[in-house]
């Protein structure tokens, strides 16, 4: 075993947390399950993440820190670190009978087994719930798939865009007269992940009462469909199809996103009643708008919403978005500056609330301490555990196999020699991204800043060495 790998007490070295004592085996990829299990790990659960050296996950090979694809690039994947903090990491070749048997032995001493592969893959491995109950009668199994574990679409491959379309979410999103518009981020994965956390906690509570485990079947498409109940109910009750309206609102006007001073700077403003309308007019210095009888009353403004949008866009353009937001909020008008990634990272409100947590990476990665987004909720008596970085590939093979499964050092060494476990991908192929200048030229990014490491380190100094 590589000597740089640290030991672990099963909670990232941190201990504590309301879920201390719960063990989870995660056979996940990308976001839907890894994100959900990350939240459980934050709360102190011992999450053991399974990987394969024969099939490198894309989050390990792409979006590598600073595009440095030399050396052990697979231990510098930015997206991998984002989704897998506070977890233990092991590698097993499930194509080998011994690797699959070790996974079954690990499940037998765990509380939850979570995966987001298609039912066909799980059935081929013999890891269905009916099989797992034979080795652990009270096991809780979570299957998060694009369309559910059963039904005619069960074995369809699923990506964020596919499920966003299948859920109806994309159909309701877009500008008037235009096509459906999908979110820039994998919205469905995160929505399904949050539902998954709720379902796992409910199953754990049920097991405390009954002693019985159960199968949790999460449909990512259905999780997203549950976020548009108004459109579903409108058709069920009235037979009406929704019309895409962009940033507009069916009742409020003005209601939209308006330009501000600077490159790609915006503010969102929503006016619900006459009081807010008068406040907006005062801040913008447009008493002529306030006195215009055509804009009197919500219905009158809504009928002239396109004219209002054009007028307001011209008026907001010279303003700094944050100054205008503060002025409008002080006048009782709901408004918010549209924050880009840099705004979010350095936002004083988020920093004061401790939303970002600085994580030290292993020295072998060459990555400095970096801030990661935390959780939007806080527990006063049982807070989240201090953050640990995502595991290096195979980092906890020795701990899991020897401490949890009782293998000897010689047995672990044999497994490594035979390729059942490993510490590096068998076929390491990083994704080669164009230079930053080329990505700007191609329109893949708006801009970049060369001194970002200094900006980040000043705002988020590294935590003390443990």
Active-site amino acid positions = 189
Written as tens digits, the pLDDT of the chain (466 aa) is: 344 444 445 444 445 889 999 999 999 999 999 999 999 999 999 999 999 999 989 999 988 888 888 899 999 999 999 999 999 999 999 999 999 999 999 999 999 999 999 999 999 999 999 999 999 999 999 999 999 999 999 888 888 788 888 888 989 999 999 999 888 888 899 999 999 999 999 999 999 999 999 999 999 999 999 998 888 889 999 999 888 999 999 999 999 999 999 999 999 999 999 999 999 999 999 999 999 999 999 999 999 999 999 999 999 999 999 999 999 999 999 999 999 999 999 999 999 999 999 999 999 999 999 999 999 889 999 999 999 999 999 999 999 999 999 999 999 999 999 999 999 999 998 888 888 899 999 998 888 888 999 999 999 998 877 6
Domain 255-339 CATH assignment equals 3.30.1540.10 = yes
Q: Dihedrals φ, ψ of 20, to 5°?
A: -55, 135
Q: State the burial class of residue 11 (Cβ atoms within 10 Å of its Cβ: 0-12, 13-18, 19+).
A: buried
Counting Cα atoms < 13 Å in the Cβ hemisphere of 161 gives 4
49 membership: H or E segment, kind and range = strand 46-51
Gap between the Cα atoms of 7 and 9, Å rounded:
7
In the sheet that holds 335-337, the strands lie side by side as 255-259, 266-270, 335-337
88 membership: H or E segment, kind and range = strand 88-91
Gap between the Cα atoms of 389 and 407, Å rounded:
26
Domain ranges of the chain: 23-226+354-459, 255-339
Domain 23-226+354-459 CATH assignment equals 3.30.70.20 = no
């Amino acid at each position: 075993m590589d000597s740089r790998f640290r030991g672990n007490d099963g909670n990232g070295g941190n201990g504590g947390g309301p879920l201390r004592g719960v063990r989870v085996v995660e056979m996940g990829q990308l976001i839907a399950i890894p994100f959900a299990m990350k939240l459980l790990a934050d709360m102190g659960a011992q999450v053991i993440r399974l990987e394969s050296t024969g099939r490198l996950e894309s989050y390990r090979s792409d979006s590598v820190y600073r595009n440095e694809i030399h050396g052990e690039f697979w231990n510098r994947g930015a997206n991998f670190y984002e989704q897998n903090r506070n977890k233990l990491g092991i590698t097993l070749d499930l194509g080998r009978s011994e690797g699959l048997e070790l996974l079954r032995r690990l499940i037998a001493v765990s509380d939850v087994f979570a995966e987001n592969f298609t039912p066909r893959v799980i059935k081929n491995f013999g890891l269905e719930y009916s099989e797992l109950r034979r080795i652990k009668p009270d096991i809780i199994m979570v299957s998060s798939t694009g369309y559910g574990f059963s039904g005619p679409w069960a074995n369809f491959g699923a990506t964020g865009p596919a499920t966003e379309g299948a859920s109806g979410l994309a159909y309701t999103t877009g500008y008037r007269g235009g096509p459906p518009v999908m979110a820039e981020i994998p919205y469905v994965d995160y929505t399904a992940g949050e539902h998954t956390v709720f379902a796992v906690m409910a199953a754990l509570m049920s097991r405390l009462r009954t002693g019985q485990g159960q199968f949790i079947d999460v449909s990512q498409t259905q999780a997203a469909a549950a976020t548009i109940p108004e459109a579903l109910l409108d058709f069920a009750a009235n037979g009406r199809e929704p019309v895409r309206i962009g940033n507009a609102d069916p009742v409020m006007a003005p209601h939209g996103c308006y330009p501000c001073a600077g490159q790609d700077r915006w503010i969102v403003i929503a006016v619900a009643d006459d009081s807010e309308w008068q406040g907006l007019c005062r801040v913008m210095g447009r008493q002529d708008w306030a006195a215009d009888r055509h804009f009197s009353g919500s219905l009158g403004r809504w009928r002239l919403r396109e004219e209002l949008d054009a007028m307001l866009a011209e008026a907001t353009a010279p303003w700094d978005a944050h100054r205008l937001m503060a002025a409008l909020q002080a006048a009782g008008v709901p408004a918010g500056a549209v924050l880009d990634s840099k705004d979010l990272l350095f936002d004083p409100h988020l920093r004061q609330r401790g939303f970002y947590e600085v994580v030290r990476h292993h020295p072998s990665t060459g990555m400095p301490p970096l801030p990661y987004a935390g959780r939007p909720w806080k527990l006063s008596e049982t807070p989240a555990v201090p953050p640990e970085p995502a595991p290096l590939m195979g980092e906890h093979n020795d701990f899991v196999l020897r401490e949890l499964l009782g293998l000897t050092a010689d047995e672990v060494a044999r497994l490594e020699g035979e390729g059942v476990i490993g510490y590096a991908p068998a076929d390491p192929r990083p994704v080669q991204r164009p230079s930053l200048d080329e990505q700007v030229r191609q329109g893949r990014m708006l801009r970049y800043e060369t001194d970002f490491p200094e900006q980040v380190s000043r705002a988020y100094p590294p935590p003390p060495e443990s």
